[in-house]
Chain A
Amino acid sequence: MNVLLKTLTFSLALTLLFTFVTYLLPQVKGEAPVEKNVDLGSLTMEDFIALGDDIFHNKGTCTLCHKPAPLGRAPDIEGENMVALAEERLADDRYNGEARDGEAYIRESMVDPGRYVVAGWGKKGSNDSESPMPHVDKPPIQLSPMEIDAVIAWLQSKDGNVVTVVLPDPEVAVEVASAASDGGDAGKVPAPAATAEEALARYACVSCHALDSRNVLVGPGLVDVGARLDKDELRQSILDPNADVAEGFPPAMPPDFASKMTVKELEMIIEYLAEKKG
């Protein structure tokens, strides 16, 4: 009996010692991502950026790899200016992806990382031809297109760069969600326009407005609009066209550019129109 007692005590003590070691270590829980309900109706760009910040550090598990130098297993995109980096990547001879601007590059890095592998960070033995980075739109990370946009918005804004992603529009978001569940590429938001002309074409402004005359199509000609309106008025007539309808015109201008255009596109269009003084 004595032996039993002694050996049992010894065994228990050892077990508890091991348990004690686990108490010495940091007690961190690995939370599973929770579904967040984002109210798209009242979402501001600030919220959107904060959402991206949160996704980057939690649900996206990006910081598992993207950490500062001695600890990181991937470029420290949080510490560096990702927008500037993106420009460098695009200018690199090795770049053979389809992105034309920074935002598209970041998105491409996330959904199709193999397109361009940052030198030194490729899969072991692949000589930087394969990326170890997971496709973030696929399991296990599985970000929705909107969440990817949010991360991009955060990556752009954290270093004071212009945020070029568009805020999700409630209706568009629904479409995107259902398209995404089909697994295709349909859910991808197209890359924003690079020039004012491109933007004017994309939003079909030219189908109602003549740009090089005063001729009225559906709306007024815009050749001298820069002389008639200052930049703030221009902005208002694009973002909230029905607030002040020019006399004699039906309220035909689409009211939802605010949620479709990127900030950059809007600014480009305004700059462009402000120069049109007749």
Chain B
Amino acid sequence: MKQKKFSHAGGLFFRMLRLFVMLLFAGVSLPSLAVADDGAVNTQERIAPVAEVRLQGQPPVEMVAAPAQKKAQVVEPEAAPQPSRKDYPNVGISSRAIVWVLAQMHLFFGALVLAVPLFVLMIELVGVFTGDDRYDDMAHEFMKISLTGFSITAIFGGSLALALFMLYPDFMGYMMHVFGAQVLVYALMFFFESFFLYVYYYGWNAFRYGNLKWVHLTLGLLLNASGLTIMLLANSWATFMMAPSGVNEVGAVVGNVWEIMKGPLWNPINLHRFIANIGFGGAVVGAYAAFKFLSTGDPAKRAHYDWMGYTSNFIAILAFLPLPFAGYWLMAEIYAYSQQMGITAMGGILAWLFIVQAVLIGTILLAGNFYLWSGMSRTDGSERYKGLIKIIAFVLVVSFLIWVTPHTLILSAAEISLLGGSHHHILGPLGIMPAKNIAVNLMLIATFLSFQLYRRSDKVATVGWAPLGNALLIGVYVAAVANIVFLGVYFGYFTNTVYKVGSSVAQVGTTLVVIVFGLVIDSLMFRNARVLSSHWGRIPDRSQYALFALPIAFTWLMALMGYVRSSVKTHWHVYTVMKDNSPDNFIPTIGYAGNMITLVTILFLLCVLFMFWVANLSGSRQAKPEPVVGGVA
């Protein structure tokens, strides 16, 4: 009995905490509180009689009747609420549109401020090990330009929470009920992150050398640790909504918080977002560098910003290369969790949007490659590779065209008639998955080759086995391309299995082998290489536009994929557990999504401009007005 009381008090404590968090994040509407509340105390326990009263000669009162009756009503106390349409507040404009914009803005900035400290820490480390102060300064500058991003993230996060609680009270009540104290950890982490952020940033010059530098690096590590924890926690909400775990089929909580968080899609999303965020962060700060580069004529500044832009692009492209693989893993896990959901994404109406995704990824690849090629003008040794670049460009463009060719994406008769036939006679064979896999892998290999050529362009190998090494490398490239094409063609067109994905694993493996092999050979071969002079800042202005294309495409891509992630749940808030009965429970057309995505992209652009502008303010100082002699002129 005593124990019961205790646990009850514990429950009360948590409910108080929850209440506190809800108030913290939003001026909560009361109904949502009531929903969140219900699960905690067992009704029967509350109304249980102290002693049994019974008429003489009568059988004992049936105590089971009450809960049984309760069961007949569909809503059990702990089950997910099933609000009807009138339970959704109507504010005149689409609630979904409001939440869409706020959530996406929050995610953009969240991704940015998560990613920047990550590579800042890396660059800082490089600075420590090379003893080159330029790295340290650049890392510091990266921090400076994204500093306002933290506040912007918090502002959008707060608005998002407010909007969610007001517009989707039942849903949020349920989520709070499920995740309970976990959101507290989230809030706590946010405080930690702010703390470490400010100390890390403002302490940069105070803790710059010697042992203090290590203190500073530790702060950076803690900043990243809290940032990553935040991301993992927030990801679990998204993945819970897609593939709920730790709850039974009516949504009643049956597992602990860990079981709830560790759903089947959690880790795939964690990995995919983690990598994507780094690429995204790199792309955004690259735009800053490009802008500064274009705005100045001072050769020293141009050299500095050229180098900064190069580094950003390097980060973005490096993070980008493994992304498709993480993406495929995520998709494979979605299929494994529910084939229905997988097909909704890849074979239903949403499938069209993977064409847009292909266009965006193609833009990223082409922009990244174009930038690398343009950058070769910095070095004197790059003439050697001019011819190869034409071939790379050709391979990229052809592969890209194959990739965007639609084929198996048809859903309804209406769509078939829109296309004029279920698939195109000539393009048909190019549109199927194996052909696309060939194309994607070739594009990645081509991009890596560009990268490798760029790295080589300012060096001449001095080791004796250099010709052999080159021959070996060429052999690896040729064999890899042949293998990828063969695997794709053979499995794609000459075997008759339902699942042709088997070949794609081997193809991806081949691509990875090329990358690893290329890195190893080059690092051995260019040991003690003769370094040709290279001139930072010697790059045509037009190359800088690639550094704008990159973040725009990344931003668009993120928003697009967020729309996919949210839409594969169809008319569910929490898939299979809590229905979405709001007026917006349909999947909007892709054109509408395009408009929304453009809206958030432009908003993001404006906010980023603001962020950069503020960063620049801190560096400028108004000249003191000359004292005016002799009164007003």
B548 engages A7 (CB within 8 Å): yes
Contact B356 A21 (CB under 8 A): yes
Which B residues lie within 8 Å of A139 (CB)?
A: 249, 572, 575-577
What are the residues of chain B within 8 A of A68 when measuring CB–CB?
A: 422
A27 touches B590 (CB 8 A): yes
B577 partner residues in chain A, CB cutoff 8 A: 139
Q: Check A91 for interface membership: any CB of B closer than 8 A.
A: no
Write the nearest CB–CB distance from B235 to chain A, whole angstroms: 22
Say whether B186 faces chain A, with CB atoms less than 8 Å apart.
no
The answer to the question of B601 belonging to the interface, with a C-beta cut-off of 8 Å to chain A, is: yes
What are 10 A-B pairs with beta-carbon distances under 8 A? A7-B548, A11-B548, A22-B597, A23-B591, A25-B353, A28-B349, A70-B408, A140-B338, A141-B340, A182-B72
Q: In the complex, which residues of chain B have a beta carbon less than 8 angstroms from the beta carbon of A29?
A: 349, 586-589
Chain A contacts of B423 at CB under 8 A?
Answer: 70
* Contact A121–B291 (Cβ < 8 Å): no
**Closest residue of B by beta carbon distance from A181:** B74
Q: Does B570 contact A (CB under 8 A)?
A: yes
Q: Could you say which of B14-22, B411-419, B512-520, B526-534 contacts chain A?
A: B411-419
5 residue pairs, one from A and one from B, having the closest CB atoms: A30-B587, A22-B594, A32-B571, A139-B576, A27-B589
Could you say which of B72, B249, B360, B571 contacts A33, with CB atoms under 8 Å apart? B571
CB contacts (< 8 Å) of B340 on chain A: these are 61, 64-65, 134, 140-141
Minimum distance in angstroms from A127 CB to a CB of chain B: 13
Q: Does B127 contact A (CB under 8 A)?
A: no
Contact of B78 with A by CB under 8 A: no
Residue B545 at the chain A interface, CB threshold 8 Å: yes
Contact residues in A for B290 (Cβ distance below 8 Å): 7
Contact B570 A32 (CB under 8 A): yes
Contact between B356 and A25, CB atoms less than 8 A apart? yes
Contacts of B410 in A (CB 8 A): 71
Q: A3-B295, A61-B340, A65-B343 are in contact. List 8 more A-B contacts (CB 8 A).
A: A10-B548, A12-B605, A14-B548, A22-B353, A27-B590, A64-B340, A132-B339, A183-B249
Q: Do B598 and A18 touch across chains, with their CB atoms under 8 A apart?
A: yes
From 170 to 224 in chain A, residues with beta carbon under 8 angstroms from any chain B beta carbon are 178, 181-183
Return the CB mask of B576-602 against A: 1 if under 8 Å, else 0. Answer: 110010000111111101110110011
Q: How far is the CB of B172 from chain A (nearest CB, A)?
A: 20
Q: Number of B residues whose C-beta is below 8 Å from A?
A: 66
Q: Across the interface, name the chain A residue whose C-beta is closest to B549.
A: A14
> Chain B residues in contact with chain A, CB under 8 A?
71-72, 74, 249, 287, 290-291, 294-295, 338-340, 343-344, 347-350, 352-353, 355-356, 359-360, 363, 408, 410-412, 414-415, 418-419, 422-423, 498-499, 545, 548-549, 552-553, 556, 567, 570-572, 575-577, 580, 585-591, 593-595, 597-598, 601-602, 605
Asked if A22 contacts B593 (CB within 8 A), the reply is yes
In the complex, which of the residues A21, A70, A132 has the most CB atoms of chain B within 10 Å of its own CB atom? A21
Judge whether A70 and B360 touch: CB under 8 Å: no
The B-contacting residues of A in range 101-160, CB under 8 angstroms, are 120-121, 123-124, 132-134, 138-141
In the complex with contacts A32-B571, A33-B571, A19-B339 CB distance below 8 A: no
Does chain B have a CB within 8 A of A16? yes
A19 and B422 form a contact (CB under 8 A):
no
Cβ-defined contact, A7 with B294, below 8 A:
yes
Q: Are B590 and A22 in contact (CB under 8 A)?
A: yes
* A7 proximity list for chain B (CB < 8 A): 287, 290-291, 294, 545, 548
A138 touches B548 (CB 8 A): no
A276 to B41 CA separation, bound complex (whole angstroms): 67
B415 touches A28 (CB 8 A): yes
B552 touches A11 (CB 8 A): yes
